[in-house]
Structure 1
Amino acid sequence: MKRVLEPEVMDTWEETIAYDAMDFTEVNQAFVDEAIALGPDSATVLDVGTGPARIPILLCHRRPQWTVTAIDLSHNMLKLGATHVAKAELGDRIRLDYADAKSLPYADASFDLVISNSIIHHLENPLPCLRELRRVLKPQGSLFLRDLVRPEDLAKVERLVQQLGSDYDPHQTQLFRDSLCAAFTLSEIQQMLENAGFAGISAYLSSDRHWTAKQAWQG
């Protein structure tokens, strides 16, 4: 199945609210559990494509010695994320920046841990983003990337969409369908990781709809 691009930025208020209303609690918690296992006890973290900042909040609740810089290209996502961060009383440990993952405004080797959950499929060409993640990650740093994987055909797309059940409205369901069609295959991701300089890091299927690539703290 050929890849079908979707917009890089989800920036209407309707899309922002619809996305935030989707129940990612279990998925986000699993992501946070794995991220914590990869990083050091005290860490500076970069969350790329943070959306409404749910993952940084979970991370900071679990790791008091971690600080998170969370970026997004959606003003509305950051606006909503700021309300969540304020409600969680974590404004001193979570910094929200409007920044482009393809050209990060941070110095080389700035972060102990770089994470990203479901940003890669939004990018027409993720290679500049991956190169930037490698640049700002410390040499001994941890990496944790996860995203959707593109199914082999439309029939598989529809089977995955049907698994959502009745918990999602038509707009939310279409967002998920579009994201599956915009995702990359496992072999495409692996090639991009290698081209970006992430030697020794292999992408693997971590569910029926996700790929993961990770590296533990080397310090």
Structure 2
Amino acid sequence: MKKTLSAALVGLLLGTSSLAHANLSINVGAINVNPDSEVSKIDQAPTLGLNVDDDTQLGITIDYALNDNWVLELVAATPFSHDVDGRAGLHGASIGEVKHLPPTLLGQYHFGQAGDKFRPFVGAGINYTIFFDEQASQDLKNVLGTNDVELKLDDSLGLAAQVGFNYALDKNWGLHGMVSYMDIDSDASVYADGVKALTVDVKIDPVVAMFGVRYSF
């Protein structure tokens, strides 16, 4: 159910292409999510903490031009997978692995004129991050003394800010690059034998960078 949300958002924006194909562009390339390096503290044991590593996936962003300067962009990607590792008193321990989809809708202002080859832009919008397929590690199971361990992360809703550029190679093809900051925070809960054992306020707050090719219809 959760995995269908980003597909639905993509479908909604693609539906507008029937109104004006010339206003639609698709950017495809490598996209990296690099979470904040700050350690997230475990509520029940503040001397213990965890951190989330980065991941690179296939990024797909869809631009719909409202006019020569204002654009709506939907950022999507194949699912990101992150290892969650222990920090502080848990240094060296694996906590688990989580996957997520971070569909983000932004309003952008593009500088210059429609015919310019190089068009820098700035943007701001809303991110909704969907966590799924959370897996507790064997290290965490050993610490809790049971193999019946579940790791759950709540979905996140937050703001996003962006800077980037488009560079036209010809009428249809071009290059696309962007860097975004996304406010992604989640409450993580660990259940042992069906009972909540740990809670963590996970601050991911990643810098998201993408570089790829652009095709304008």
Give the TM-score normalised by the residue count of structure 2. 0.24
Return the structure number with greater helix share.
Answer: 1
Return the structure number with greater strand share.
Answer: 2
Give the TM-score normalised by the residue count of structure 1. 0.24
In our comparison, the structure showing a higher alpha carbon Rg is: 2
